[in-house]
Amino acid sequence: MTRPYVLLVDDLPANLAALEALFQADNVALLKAGSGEEALELLLKHDVALALLDVQMPGMDGFELAELMRGTERTRNVPIIFLTAGSVDKNRRFRGYEAGAVDFIPKPIEGDVLRRKVHVFVDLHQERQEVAAERDDLADRAIALTHADDAKDQFLAVLAHELRNPVAALASGLDLLERPRTEDQAAQIRNQMRRMVTHLSRLVEDLLDVTRIKEGKVPLQITSVDMQDVVGLAVEGTRHAIDEAGHRLYVDVPRQPLTIRGDYSRLAQVIANLLSNAAKYTPQGGTIRLTLRQESHGIELRITDTGVGIPAEMQTRIFEKFVQVEGHGARAQGGVGIGLALVKKLVALHGGTIRVESLGEGRGSTFIVSLPQSA
Ligand code: ADP
């Protein structure tokens, strides 16, 4: 914490020097002024904890200076100790008395008495500042909570919307099955229903994973895994979506095995999620490339697409949960913005990092995952 300022105002340099000597050993920063005008200038520049004003000064005297201080918002509440020579002139009452703490110390000054008083005011000032800082902190936290609350509300709205479609499709599937059908027609309906159920289960599993990871409840089954195998499993799981969108997929992995310590199915989940996003956010007939490389620091996986791209300002935010790029909604295919949050957490659980590079709208995206080999 910075030392609080104490303003000393006296027209006699010897008095200022004596006051300065009195407070030298104390934890306060002294501001010295030889006149009321100088004092006002210093008060403009500094946030002062206390002012010691000599009453009898040529020109603007101590009372006049105090009145000006009380008339100004910035200095209205600065406590004042008047240093008075002899008895205070009863007729010259200081009019700003009620506006804040005021005290009188007669000259010649008793050093100990003055120091004790000064400390009372300085401590009060510090406490007030601490309270103000806590109040600001609480206000900031309240704003952050409101934002988080808004984000949750928005997420619930998106989620409800995304759940309604598959549930409605399942209900009408059941209706259709209850009517007379050929075996072929029934099989087709069942297939569609199965797809909806798979989609719903994935959504529910992802939601549960996000909570479980947050609570530290996703234990990794760490073994020695061959990344070529992991890529193979992820490609297998997403092949259908990639083909359906008419994309070409190029997979470039080294011939020699690339083994790392990690959780086989969680790593496959990471890659499958990135491949499925590449398929979703790339217009029909695009190109997706997956490369796996041994780097000096570990393994680097890149998944590049020729899709809609990601604006620069969203490139870190998309890894937060429930965040979707505006305008991508039509391509999300029932996603609710948790896939990348989950991917990032799973990568972090393996001691790795993930980032995205994109030149912006319509210029494609590259997701880069770096994994250490000994998680
Ligand atoms: P979801 O796809 O369910 O919305 P994600 O968490 O997987 O959620 O992705 C968050 C957002 O990041 C997406 O909504 C989309 O806007 C953007 N995004 C993810 N992958 C890509 C990609 N390959 N190309 C362009 N945008 C992407």
Contact 122, 101 (CB under 8 A): no
Between the ranges 49-63, 114-128, 298-312, where is the mean pLDDT highest? 298-312
Note the pLDDT of residue 148: 85
What is the mean predicted confidence (pLDDT) over 5-21? Answer: 95
Q: Is 371 exposed, middle or buried (0-12, 13-18, 19+ CB in 10 A)?
A: buried
261 strand-pairing partners: 224, 374
Contact 50, 121 (CB under 8 A): yes
Pairwise pLDDT comparison (301 vs 220), residue with the higher score: 301
Nearest CA to ligand 1 atom 8: 337
Among 43-52, 144-153, 344-353, where is mean pLDDT lowest? 144-153
- Nearest by Cα to 368 from 304, 315, 324, 305: 304
pLDDT at 1 over 50: yes
Note the pLDDT of residue 93: 56
Contact 121, 49 (CB under 8 A): yes
The residue type found at 190 is R
CA of 265 to the centre of ligand 1 (A): 21
pLDDT at 126 over 60: yes
Could you give the angle at the alpha carbon of 72 between the alpha carbons of 70 and 78, nearest 5°?
50
CA of 190 to the centre of ligand 1 (A): 29
CA of 290 to the centre of ligand 1 (A): 17
Note the pLDDT of residue 95: 55
CA of 160 to the centre of ligand 1 (A): 19
Terminus-to-terminus CA distance in the chain, angstroms?
A: 42
pLDDT at 311 over 90: yes
Nearest CA to ligand 1 atom 25: 309
CA of 166 to the centre of ligand 1 (A): 20
- Rounded distance between C-alpha atoms, residue 242 and residue 235, angstroms: 9
Pairwise pLDDT comparison (157 vs 83), residue with the higher score: 83
Any atom of ligand 1 within 6 Å of the Cβ of 277: yes
Q: What is the pLDDT of residues 50-77, one digit of tens each?
A: 999 998 899 998 989 998 998 899 999 8
Any atom of ligand 1 within 6 Å of the Cβ of 328: yes
Note the pLDDT of residue 87: 62
CA of 321, closest atom in ligand 1: 6
CA of 90 to the centre of ligand 1 (A): 78
Nearest CA to ligand 1 atom 13: 324
Top mutation candidate among 318, 320, 361 for ligand 1, by most atoms within 8 Å of CB? 318
pLDDT at 285 over 60: yes
Contact 37, 60 (CB under 8 A): yes
pLDDT at 91 over 50: no
**Whole-structure pTM over 0.85, yes or no?**
no
Nearest CA to ligand 1 atom 14: 324
Q: What's the chain's average pLDDT? A: 90
What is the mean predicted confidence (pLDDT) over 100-129? Answer: 88
The SS3 call for residue 146 is helix
Pairwise pLDDT comparison (129 vs 161), residue with the higher score: 129
- Rounded distance between C-alpha atoms, residue 53 and residue 36, angstroms: 9
In degrees and rounded to multiples of 5, residue 163 shows phi and psi of: -80, -30
Q: What is the pLDDT of residues 338-356, one digit of tens each?
A: 899 999 999 999 999 999 9
The residue type found at 4 is P
